[in-house]
């Protein structure tokens, strides 16, 4: 078996951001509207700080307004809810995102529920999760939506394909399964209690790995020719003690068997922010007829 095609998420995301930038330019010229994204970060988690910085930078590069709200780790929940209420009412803000995880004293579900579903560009509000499950118009979560774009670009029509989603989180696994079901895939959700995970993976035409465990899915679990989308971003110690990023799939072995595979980094990662900007653009268009 020859080596898998490498799915270039970095290039795909760059093209998507270019298209978004053109649409933003048109929206400004035709309607005098500049899409605006508000990002809230509570605390000083280093990984979250990097994500928030990148979101702000790419928002501006696409011609949108970026509003960053950095709050101290001990911010009371009531203050955070008050900020969200203010952003909900602000017509210049089309998207609101509270970076997760939030500190332990804050109830994550209460925060997500407080965001106006029409501005919930993360797609985490129960109204948007419900819309995704029932076929309504809402926002799909950015990482699974980015995975779906890469899959369609690689395979075209997904109808009838067997897909296994490894991981059942609200952010990736569950919405990913809903999106694949909408594309008429036969979907299995596997998780930590799945009895024979290698066997489930072996039967799939499409494998989505979203468990957060470095190199867990091995090449000999993959069906020859399958398409593998690796959502994992795990930091591990590499050669000479240097930290490196690896996915949930053991790339060296899986790329010998798969038909196509996303690398880590440069696969799914860049798609998440591009899809966030896409959702913000959609929200601004909906708000302005
Ligand atoms: N933390 C990790 N991924 C995400 C994401 O997509 N959105 C938010 N808000 N927080 C996250």
Q: What would the pLDDT profile of 151-188 be if each residue is shown by its tens digit?
A: 999 999 999 999 999 999 999 999 999 999 999 999 99
Please, what is the end-to-end C-alpha distance for the chain in angstroms?
52
Give me the CATH number covering residue 257.
3.40.50.720
pLDDT in tens, 19-63: 999 999 999 999 999 999 999 999 999 999 999 999 999 999 999
Q: Is residue 281 part of a domain?
A: no
Are 190 and 82 contained in the same domain? Answer: no
Mutating to test ligand 1, I would choose from 100, 114, 119, 172 the residue with most ligand atoms within 8 A of its C-beta, which is: 100
Inside any domain, residue 220: yes
Same domain, 90 and 148: no
Write out the catalytic residue numbers. 55, 99, 122
Do the Cβ atoms of 12 and 70 come closer than 8 Å?
no
Last residue of a domain, one of 70, 86, 118: 118
> pLDDT of 101-112, one tens digit each?
999 999 999 999
Flag whether pLDDT at 2 surpasses 80. Answer: no
Instruction: Kindly give the distance from the C-alpha atom of residue 51 to the centroid of ligand 1, in angstroms, as a whole number.
Output: 8
- Residues linked to residue 207 through DSSP beta bridges, in sequence order: 164, 228
Q: How far apart are CA 52 and CA 142, in angstroms?
A: 15
Whether 259 maps to a domain, the answer reads yes
On whether both 146 and 260 belong to a single domain, the answer is yes
- Does the pTM exceed 0.90? yes
Residue 17 domain flag: no
DSSP, res 119: G
Binding-site members for NADP(+) are 167-169, 233
In the chain, the number of structural domains is: 2
ipTM confidence score: 0.95
Domain boundary among 103, 118, 133: 118
Mean of the per-residue pLDDT values of the chain = 97
For residues 216-238, average pLDDT = 97
Q: Does residue 79 lie in a domain region?
A: yes
Query: d(Cα 116, Cα 122) in Å, to the nearest integer?
Result: 11
The whole-number pLDDT of residue 144 equals 98
- HSE-up of 252 (CA within 13 Å, CB side)? 3
CATH number of domain containing 55: 3.40.50.10860
Are residues 214 and 171 part of one domain?
yes
Whether the pLDDT of residue 289 is over 80: the answer is: no
Q: 30 CA distance to ligand 1 centroid (A)?
A: 32
Q: Same domain for 262 and 155?
A: yes
Q: Are residues 95 and 146 in the same domain?
A: no
Note whether 198 and 251 are same-domain residues. yes
Looking at the CA of residue 276, tell me the nearest atom of ligand 1.
6
Tens-place pLDDT, residues 98-154: 999 999 999 999 999 999 999 999 999 999 999 999 998 999 999 999 999 999 999
Ligand 1 atom nearest to CA at 122: 7
Same domain as 182, residue 232: yes
Dihedral sign of CA atoms 6, 10, 15, 20 in order:
positive
How much is the pLDDT for 1? 57
Pocket test for ligand 1, best of 87, 102, 122, 145 (most atoms within 8 A of CB): 122
Domain that holds residue 72: 33-118
Say yes or no: 164 and 264 in one domain: yes
Q: Pick the atom of ligand 1 nearest to 98's CA.
A: 9
């Amino acid at each position: 078996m020859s080596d898998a095609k490498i799915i270039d998420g970095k290039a795909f995301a760059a093209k998507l951001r270019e298209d978004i930038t053109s649409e933003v330019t048109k929206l400004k010229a035709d309607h005098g509207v500049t899409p605006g994204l508000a990002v809230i970060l509570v605390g000083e988690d280093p990984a979250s700080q990097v994500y928030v910085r990148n979101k702000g930078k790419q928002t501006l590069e696409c011609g949108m307004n970026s509003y960053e709200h950095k709050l101290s780790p001990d911010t009371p929940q009531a203050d955070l809810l008050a900020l969200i209420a203010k952003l909900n009412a602000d017509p210049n803000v089309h998207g609101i995102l509270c970076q997760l995880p939030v500190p332990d004293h804050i109830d994550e579900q209460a925060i997500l529920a407080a965001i106006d579903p029409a501005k919930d560009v993360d797609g985490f509000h129960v109204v948007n999760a419900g819309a995704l499950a029932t076929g309504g118009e809402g926002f799909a979560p950015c990482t699974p939506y980015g995975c779906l774009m890469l899959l369609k670009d690689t395979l075209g029509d997904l109808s009838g394909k067997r897909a296994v989603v490894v991981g059942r989180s609200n952010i990736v696994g569950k919405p990913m399964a809903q999106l694949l079901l909408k594309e008429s895939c036969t979907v299995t959700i596997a998780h930590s209690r799945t009895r024979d995970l290698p066997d489930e993976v072996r039967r799939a035409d499409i494998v989505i790995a979203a468990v957060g465990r470095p190199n867990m899915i091995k090449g000999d679990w993959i069906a020859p020719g399958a398409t593998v989308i690796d959502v994992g971003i795990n930091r591990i110690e590499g050669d000479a003690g240097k930290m490196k990023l690896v996915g949930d799939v053991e790339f060296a072995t899986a790329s010998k068997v798969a038909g196509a595979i996303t690398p880590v980094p440069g696969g799914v990662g860049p798609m998440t922010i591009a899809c966030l900007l896409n959702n913000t653009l959609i929200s601004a268009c909906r708000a302005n007829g």
